[in-house]
Amino acid sequence: VQHERTSDHGELFATNQVSPDTERCYRYQLRSFARWMEAERDVTELESVTTVDLLAYKQSLAHLSPTTQKRFIATIRSFFKW
């Protein structure tokens, strides 16, 4: 996902009236998502992300604890709703 645009959008999203720790987590999770989308799905534009891509990303988190998976998914879901 185009890192510059994602970074700009992610910056606005991550700093949207949250604590510094939450902001740091959001940034990390969004950067991880962007890197994965580009490396694994060859997606470089936010507008090109599909439901299939999101489901594949969710599956890629299977090695993480259920709580961590939920945090990543909640961040990505909130970002796209935002």
For residue 64, what pLDDT is reported? 98
CA distance 9 to 82: 10
CB distance 53 to 40 below 8 Å: no
What mean pLDDT is predicted for residues 52-58?
97
Domain boundaries, the chain: 3-81
pTM of the entire structure? 0.77
Give pLDDT tens digits for 12-27: 555 567 788 988 998 8
Average pLDDT score over residue span 14-41: 87
Residue 7 to residues 24, 25, 55, 63, 65: CA-CA distances in angstroms?
Answer: 13, 14, 22, 26, 26
